Amino acid sequence: MASTKKTPSKAISTSRTHKDRAKRWFSGAASACIVVLLLVLHSAYWMNQNFINSQNFSQKVSSVLALDSSREAIGNEVSDQVFKDKPILGRVAGDKLASIVTSLLGTDIANKLVTRVSNDTVVYLTSPKQKPIEISLSEIKPIIIALSKAVDVVDKSSSVSIDSSTIPDKIVLVEPGTIPSFYKYSVILAWMVPFASLAIIGLFVAIIRLRKLSIRQGFKRAGILLMSSSVLGMIIGPVVKPPAIAMLQSTNLRTLTSNLYDAFWSPFLSQMSYMFILGLLLLAIAYVRISRPSFLQKAR
């Protein structure tokens, strides 16, 4: 009967195969973790610069509110809210009110109103306890009525006048809980930064030592990881935007939220682009053969 015992050389070969396979699995898992952790670090930096930094946040919100599409969305939302219980009156006078509010938002008269909306938005998105985003009409109500009367004089076909009883003192644009606050996410990311930084260094060193990578291979691996993380980050934005906007039922608020999303997504996309370029640079270094200077070469 033939013996089924393995020879020592075969046993050693099988053991090495298992070890190599385990090393490859660990290297792959560690690389995937590094890609995600790099994204965590960039997200923390992005959130700190654009959300926690109230000055930057306010500037971005103010610039978004100054856009024509945003002013039109606010004007239409004000009109919809004013006439939501008076649909017949809304069909007649809604466009007029929306047009007047939209025009006012683009002037210096409504600067305080826009500033308040901007501040409310900052508090809404960055505070643990959300407050509604409101637009106060009490200060511009007399101007709206005066402009309405002027329109009636010019346009004789306008049969419905807007008076003070029609317009409320304030309108709630966004109720608390409609859009999630970024406060808890910023706190979580802030706590994860030191852990993520140490984990990235530790995992990368482990990959180099376990796989016995040369300096050139190390540059190549680092470049691939940076580029992979940046591509993943670039994909996330377009994927997250539709469900984020879909949470809002109002078409006007969706327009406004879309403009806000694009304004804050832009700097994150820039970060991902810089990381991709850095990864590409490391890859280029890995594939460039650097020769020793002639004065260091031994004479033949």
What residues contact 254, with CB distance under 8 A and at least 6 apart? 245, 246, 248
**Above 60 in pLDDT, residue 158?**
no
Q: What is the pLDDT of residues 17-65, one digit of tens each?
A: 767 787 788 888 999 999 999 999 999 999 888 887 878 888 888 888 8
**Above 80 in pLDDT, residue 150?**
no
Residue 155 has a pLDDT of 47
Residue 166 has a pLDDT of 64
Residue 93 has a pLDDT of 62
Q: Of 47 and 288, which is predicted with more confidence?
A: 47
Q: What is the pLDDT of residues 200-253, one digit of tens each?
A: 999 999 999 888 888 888 899 999 999 999 999 999 888 888 887 887 778 888
In Å, how far are 3, 76, 99, 179, 247 from 244, measured between CA atoms? 67, 21, 28, 8, 6
* CB neighbours of residue 66 within 10 Å: 13
pLDDT bucket at 184, cuts 50 / 70 / 90: confident
What residues contact 65, with CB distance under 8 A and at least 6 apart? 71, 74, 105, 114, 117, 118
User: Whats the size of the chain, residue-wise?
Assistant: 300
| Mean pLDDT lowest among 90-94, 192-196, 221-225, 282-286 | 90-94
What residues contact 178, with CB distance under 8 A and at least 6 apart? 247, 248
What residues contact 235, with CB distance under 8 A and at least 6 apart? none
Task: Estimate the crossing angle of helix 141-154 against helix 87-105, to 10 degrees.
Answer: 110
Q: Where are the beta strands (DSSP E) in 107-222?
A: 133-136, 170-174
Residue 52 has a pLDDT of 78
Average pLDDT, the chain: 78
Residue 88 has a pLDDT of 56
User: What is the arithmetic mean of pLDDT over 157-181?
Assistant: 67
* Strand pairing report for 133-136 and 170-174: antiparallel
What residues contact 71, with CB distance under 8 A and at least 6 apart? 65, 102, 105, 106
* CB neighbours of residue 36 within 10 Å: 14
| Mean pLDDT lowest among 10-14, 141-145, 286-290 | 10-14
Q: What is the pLDDT of residues 54-110, one digit of tens each?
A: 788 888 888 888 888 888 888 888 777 777 766 655 565 666 677 777 777 777 766
Residue 292 has a pLDDT of 47
If you average pLDDT over each of 4-8, 149-153, 216-220, 240-244, which comes out highest? Answer: 216-220
Q: Of 277 and 85, which is predicted with more confidence?
A: 277
Amino acid making up residue 71:
R
Residue pair 213/207 in contact (Cβ under 8 Å)? The answer is: yes
Residue 280 has a pLDDT of 95
Rounded to 5 degrees, what angle do the CA atoms 56, 62, 63 make? Answer: 90
Amino acid making up residue 185:
Y
Residue pair 73/256 in contact (Cβ under 8 Å)? The answer is: yes
